[in-house]
Amino acid sequence: MKRLILVLGLLISLTACANGPRPPKLPYPAWNVGLAAPKHMEVWVESVDVLDQRGLGFFHVFGGVASYTGEVRGWHKGGGKTMPIHNVDLPEKIYLRWQSLVEPQAYTIGIQIPQWVRDEMVKPHTVYCRWVNRKVVTLYRKTLSLGMAPGGIVKVWVGTGCLEHLEVGRFQAKVHPLGPYQGKSNGKYVPLEPENKAYIEKYGVPYGSW
């Protein structure tokens, strides 16, 4: 009887594996998401969610504090604090929910990723890279960088360290109707860092520069 139960359990496990999603076939173990904001324009990312090209949804793949660019006005080109996204196929759509702490305001957006971006993410490039042992290597533009600025502005790039980042687009997010943390914090935002608070009080927010 115990042997029969063991065999049945194994068959159920194998059936579940066979019916489950297959791992993505990518030329690397993981692609990356980068989070960035202009200098002093502090951002807290509540959630990055992904709908991949298989039609599968993955929630809270990344979040937290976005890293800063070198300038208050204008944009860098890609980069940011990155997170490898394992076992997720290339993105069909990315959903972003964050707090712009200098306003403060909560924003949300769903960004459709064009096919040319997915094509670029698996296209090999042979380049000299001073960050990879200063030699010629094969690299992929496997990082999607999300830049967030006050007013709900989002810029997206695709690239990697030794390859030029290509701009995917500039997007306008919507104010989240429920506020920060989807209404679960009674309207309370993450506190603004003293250095950034002092900058905003002295110089204000340069809306329109992003």
Q: What is the pLDDT of residue 19?
A: 56
Using CB atoms within 10 A of its CB, is residue 161 exposed (0-12), middle (13-18) or buried (19+)? middle
45-82 pLDDT, tens per residue?
Answer: 999 999 999 999 999 999 999 999 999 999 987 888 99
Q: What is the pLDDT of residue 20?
A: 64
Q: Name which of 118-132, 139-153, 188-202 the model is least confident about.
A: 118-132
Instruction: Give SS3 for 142.
Output: coil
Q: What is the pLDDT of residue 166?
A: 97
Specify the residue for token string 């919507």: 174
Q: What is the pLDDT of residue 161?
A: 85
Q: Which among 15, 7, 192, 189 is positioned nearest to 98, based on CA atoms?
A: 189
129-178 pLDDT, tens per residue?
Answer: 887 777 898 999 999 999 999 999 999 999 998 899 999 999 999 999 99
Amino acid identity, position 165: H
Domain ranges of the chain: 28-202
Distance CA 181, CA 6 (A): 45
Contact 52, 90 (CB under 8 A): yes
